[in-house]
Amino acid sequence: MRITHQNKINFLYLHKKIRMSLKKQRNISMNQFSLTGHIKSLKRNELVDFESSLERDYIHILEFDENVRYYYEQPLKIEFNDRYYVPDFYVEYWSGEKEVVEIKYNIDLIENASKYVTKFQAADEFCSNNGLKFRILTESDIRNEYLFNVKFLNAVQIMRNGIESEYFNEFELLETNLRKLKRTTINNLLDLCTSCELKRAELIQYLWLMVIHRKIKVDLNKKLNMEAEIWI
């Protein structure tokens, strides 16, 4: 991998074939867009830090995306013109594609355009010279019906993590009846599985787990509800 020396742009730490650091490259500073905290990551089995609610929402998407191999927050320091810039995320996909991602609110990009232009040019040049893609994502890209569904399913997965083997019969019941119906709604599937309200409430948890693990398919670009269409 060729590292460009123009503008003194470089990675700081070697991880596999990508130079990156698993240690955060800067301290979090407060501004009007700040909302700091952390999320439990099942992909990394550790807490992942965020410094805005928009970053938090993007982490939810990364966690759910089965195409994402791994990701790290603020792992790079890109130096340029005696300054440096730390992007928000590094993401690597199972396909081998790698990208550096900056998360910004639309209003922030508009109001601070002159401040960001040099940073983003340096990042884009660096990525172009090192086989990476540089992306800037805003709330227009992140906050939609898909995010609503992903946040819900991630919460279910965290609450019920590790129980799959204990409830094989429930999974088999749902799958067997869904194969009979082929395509149907969640309500219709539960009606076929049981007439007991308590059993129905129990089965819905396992149905969501099957959606999470792609055993049951659903259009995640539409808000999930009991009338959502599902299929195998």
pLDDT at residue number 148 = 93
pLDDT at residue number 40 = 84
Residue type at position 148: F
pTM exceeds 0.95, yes or no? no
Please check whether residue 103 is in contact with residue 89, taking contact to mean a CB–CB distance below 8 angstroms.
yes
Could you tell me which residues come within 8 angstroms of residue 117 by beta carbon, excluding any fewer than 6 positions away?
none
Please check whether residue 78 is in contact with residue 157, taking contact to mean a CB–CB distance below 8 angstroms.
no
Torsion of CA 131, 136, 140, 141, to 10 degrees: 20
Strand bridging mode 78-80 / 37-41: unpaired
- d(CA 51, CA 28) in angstroms, rounded, equals 7
What pLDDT tens digit does each residue of the chain (232 aa) get? 333 333 333 444 333 334 444 455 555 454 445 678 888 898 988 999 999 989 999 999 999 999 999 999 998 889 888 888 999 999 999 999 999 999 999 999 999 999 999 999 999 999 999 999 999 999 999 999 999 999 999 888 876 665 454 567 888 899 999 999 999 999 999 999 999 888 898 899 889 989 998 999 999 999 999 999 999 9
- d(CA 111, CA 119) in angstroms, rounded, equals 15
- End-to-end Cα distance, the chain: 42
Please check whether residue 207 is in contact with residue 191, taking contact to mean a CB–CB distance below 8 angstroms.
no
- Tell me which residue of 36, 33, 98, 104 sits closest to 68, measured CA to CA: 98
